Amino acid sequence: MNYNLNHITGKEEKKSTFAVLKKLLKLIEHERKNLLLAFFAMIINATLLLLSPLIIGHTIDNYISTKQYNGVLMYAAILFGMYLLTLVTGYLQTKLMGGVGQRTLYTLRNAIFSKIQELPVAFFSQNKAGDLISRVNNDTDKLNQFFSQSLMQFLSSIFTMIGAGVFLLVINFKLGAATLVPGLFILLFATVVSAWVKRKNALNLKSVGNLSAGIQESLNNFKVIIAFNRRDYFRKRFNETNTENYKTAIGAGIANTMFVPVFGFFSSAAQLIVLLYGIHLISIGEFSVGLLISYLSYAINFYNPLRQLAALWSTFQVAMAAWDRISQILSLESDLKVITDTHTHQTNALIAFKNVHFSYAGGEEILHNISFELQKGKTYALIGPTGGGKTTTASLMARLYDTTKGEVLLAGKDIRSFTAEERSNKIGFILQEPFLFTGTVKDNILYSNTEYKDFSNEQLEEVIKEAHLDDLLALFDKGLETEVLSNSDNISLGQKQLIAFMRAVLRKPELLILDEATANIDTITEKLLSDILKKLPTETTLVIIAHRLNTIENADEIYFVNSGEVIKAGTMEHAMKMLIKGKRNS
């Protein structure tokens, strides 16, 4: 399955703006109560603002022109009370929507992170970590800004605009129609350029993700950059991604700001129409001065929200572009589904490959019609040239990937019928580059091990001793409380490998796979590991991928993996001849 987010052409991109907005609103449907309160506050706020011009015009025509100042003071007090109420409703609306935005941000980030955890290894091999981080942090924040700052302003502007338009047409239809003509040009302009604005923002968000990915890659490999004195390469790569981000940011900035001056121009044109036509109506006795002032206010109340919509529209386009990138992740489904399979094959083999074919997404077939069995309690070695398929074969044993054709059996059952938890309890996998996280040695060896999670240090040390791992723990200055920083040098790569080894052995797996697990440790420590492996439970099946002869010489069976085939190598001498020949031919 293709999990490359940069090559996914989802249906989201083809949907209309209304359809995308509808889907965005689904994100906050659980906030219905707060949304209704905020909407109610917005309606009150907009209604009061729409009534103000009518009261002002009435006051001018009936009290100021006749010098009845008591009436002026009375309506001034009414207006003051209305403005105070708009202040309260505006604050309430802002507070409610700010909470909605933050809770939505929290929920959305949890949803994305949970979805990422459900996806298979293939997803992470096809996508850059920096881009994923940008989607989780930057893109979700764009949606938060839209919900907390823009959504109610967006709806308030539309409500105010519609209300003002109704007043314009009711007061004087001809003048109202003439006043609204520039609005048609604004609508046409927005319709034409909206898709282009969205594309510009999508390109900018993508470039931000690429910039984040480039920085992370360079920092993760900074030792190599220093060792080879290639800071120039680092600077060049960063300059390229930064320049790309600069260009897309300029393009998005131009696209996002072009609405405001265009809307402002048509707004000014509409006000000019009102003044010229309104003065003409006054001159022929069909209009009053107060009514013209009210009418001009309504024209402003119609076009000012349009100006606000121009600014908010760019925020909306950014939010839609961010949602496209987020929804790409949320719409993905793992192809490693758990199937229902009640059939059990009668076999003594712990692992069996039956006519297995395998290829990575979009690549050539790596394994061709492979069949073999691994018996319980035996030790197997996989040898072969680099790129021959050893790690791929081991990954299929642990179901990090699914076969293209054929099946893999675990304890006589289709490996796809085991849940992820059941499979991880049965299979331990130690990689050449171990995964550790910031914490202590204890935290890391108990990772995902619920059996000992509540044990004290003394109890856990006793368990480690029973598993014959105490000699490995003694290599750490502070034992279980030794600090581990995942991306630092406070412990060596070899020590990290030992932690991964202890973590796997304490889970008591039925199948233990070591993929070059001794490549980063010294000879003495390797001897310790070898002794521990000999003391594993007799029913544990061990699979070793290694290039060192002393690591594989005690294997019960050696398999040679190369050119899509897995062949029994027989004796060590024969295996070495096959390895030498395979390297020459690869």
**Residue-wise pLDDT tens digits, 457-471:** 999 999 999 888 888
Q: Please report how many Cα atoms fall inside a 13 Å half-sphere around the Cα of residue 483, on the Cβ side.
A: 5
| Residue 335, domain member (yes or no) | no
- The reply to whether 375 and 271 lie within a common domain is no
- The reply to whether 303 and 414 lie within a common domain is no
pLDDT band at 370 (very low <50, low <70, confident <90, very high): very high
pLDDT at 8 exceeding the cut of 80: no
Q: Please report how many Cα atoms fall inside a 13 Å half-sphere around the Cα of residue 512, on the Cβ side.
A: 24
Number of domains in the chain: 2
DSSP-derived pairing of the beta strands 565-568 and 557-562:
antiparallel
Residues 100, 517: Cα–Cα separation, whole Å: 48
pLDDT for position 13 = 45
Q: What is the pLDDT of residues 524-566, one digit of tens each?
A: 777 777 878 888 888 899 999 876 666 677 788 999 888 888 9
pLDDT at 582 exceeding the cut of 70: no
Q: What is the pLDDT of residues 110-123, one digit of tens each?
A: 888 888 888 887 78
Residues 212, 109: Cα–Cα separation, whole Å: 18
Residues 457, 440: Cα–Cα separation, whole Å: 12
**Mean pLDDT of the region 458-487:** 87
Q: Tell me the whole-structure pTM to 2 decimals.
A: 0.65
**Mean pLDDT of the region 321-346:** 81
Three-class DSSP category at 221:
coil
> Are the CB atoms for 355 and 377 separated by under 8 Å?
no
As given in the structure block, the two tokens for residue 25 are 């609103």
| Residue 165, domain member (yes or no) | yes
- The reply to whether 115 and 163 lie within a common domain is yes
| Residue 13, domain member (yes or no) | no
- The reply to whether 368 and 487 lie within a common domain is yes
**Mean pLDDT of the region 382-396:** 87
Report residue 50: phi and psi, to 5°.
-75, -30
In 60-172, which ranges are continuous DSSP H helix? Answer: 69-118, 121-126, 129-134, 140-145, 151-171
Sign of the torsion angle spanned by Cα atoms 433, 435, 438, 439: negative
Report residue 266: phi and psi, to 5°.
-70, -30
Place of tokens 């019960």: 556
Q: What is the pLDDT of residues 167-213, one digit of tens each?
A: 888 888 888 888 888 888 887 887 788 778 878 888 888 888 778 77
| Residue 342, domain member (yes or no) | no
- The reply to whether 290 and 437 lie within a common domain is no
CATH number at residue 124: 1.20.1560.10
More confident residue, 166 or 363: 166
pLDDT band at 11 (very low <50, low <70, confident <90, very high): very low
- The reply to whether 171 and 305 lie within a common domain is yes
Report residue 374: phi and psi, to 5°.
-115, 120
| Residue 21, domain member (yes or no) | no
Q: Which amino acid is at 54?
A: L
pLDDT for position 378 = 92
Residues 234, 2: Cα–Cα separation, whole Å: 30
pLDDT for position 462 = 92
- Quick one: what percent of the chain has pLDDT higher than 90? 10
> Are the CB atoms for 84 and 322 separated by under 8 Å?
no
Three-class DSSP category at 402:
coil
As given in the structure block, the two tokens for residue 204 are 């900018």
Sign of the torsion angle spanned by Cα atoms 8, 9, 10, 16: positive
pLDDT band at 393 (very low <50, low <70, confident <90, very high): very high
pLDDT for position 584 = 47
3-state helix, strand, coil in the chain (%, to 5): 65, 10, 25
b/e map of 347-365 (b: 16 or more CB within 10 Å)?
eebbbbbbebebbeeeeee
pLDDT for position 548 = 65
Q: What is the pLDDT of residues 13-71, one digit of tens each?
A: 445 556 666 766 777 777 888 888 888 888 898 888 888 888 888 788 788 877 787 88
In DSSP terms, 367 is beta-bridged to 358
- The reply to whether 192 and 255 lie within a common domain is yes
pLDDT for position 308 = 74
Query: What does R_g of the chain's alpha carbons equal in angstroms?
Result: 35
* Range with the poorest average pLDDT among 18-22, 73-77, 351-355: 18-22
Query: Which element (helix H / strand E) includes 369?
Result: strand 365-375
More confident residue, 129 or 388: 388
Cα distances (Å, whole numbers) of residue 326 to 5, 116, 267, 373: 10, 11, 36, 43
Nearest Cα neighbor of 403 from 330, 335, 308 is 335
pLDDT for position 458 = 92
DSSP-derived pairing of the beta strands 565-568 and 405-410:
unpaired
| Residue 432, domain member (yes or no) | yes
| Residue 325, domain member (yes or no) | yes
User: For helices 457-466 and 493-506, what crossing angle results, to 10°?
Assistant: 80
Q: Give me the chain's average pLDDT, please.
A: 81
Task: Report the alpha-carbon angle 368-372-377, nearest 5.
Answer: 145
- Max alpha carbon distance in the chain (Å)? 117
Three-class DSSP category at 357:
strand
As given in the structure block, the two tokens for residue 378 are 């035996």
**Mean pLDDT of the region 359-378:** 88
- Which of 297, 330, 363 is where one domain is finished? 330
- The reply to whether 402 and 539 lie within a common domain is yes
CATH number at residue 484: 3.40.50.300
Other CB atoms within a 10 A radius of the CB of residue 465 amount to 12
pLDDT for position 550 = 66
Nearest Cα neighbor of 171 from 292, 306, 45 is 292
- The reply to whether 474 and 563 lie within a common domain is yes
- The reply to whether 356 and 230 lie within a common domain is no
pLDDT at 224 exceeding the cut of 70: no
b/e map of 140-149 (b: 16 or more CB within 10 Å)?
bebbbbbbbb
Q: Please report how many Cα atoms fall inside a 13 Å half-sphere around the Cα of residue 180, on the Cβ side.
A: 16
First to last CA, the chain: 28
pLDDT at 363 exceeding the cut of 90: no
Residues 541, 173: Cα–Cα separation, whole Å: 87
Place of tokens 């395979």: 582
- The reply to whether 312 and 428 lie within a common domain is no
pLDDT band at 507 (very low <50, low <70, confident <90, very high): confident
- The reply to whether 299 and 398 lie within a common domain is no
The range of the structural domain enclosing residue 269 comes to 26-330
Nearest Cα neighbor of 247 from 195, 197, 208 is 208
In DSSP terms, 112 is beta-bridged to none
- Looking at the chain, how many residues does it have? 586
SS3 assignment for 270-320? HHHHHHHHHHHHHHCCCCCHHHHHHHHHHHHHHHHHHHHHHHHHHHHHHHH
pLDDT at 95 exceeding the cut of 80: yes
| Residue 18, domain member (yes or no) | no
The alpha carbon of residue 481 and the mean position of all alpha carbons in its chain are separated, in whole angstroms, by 33
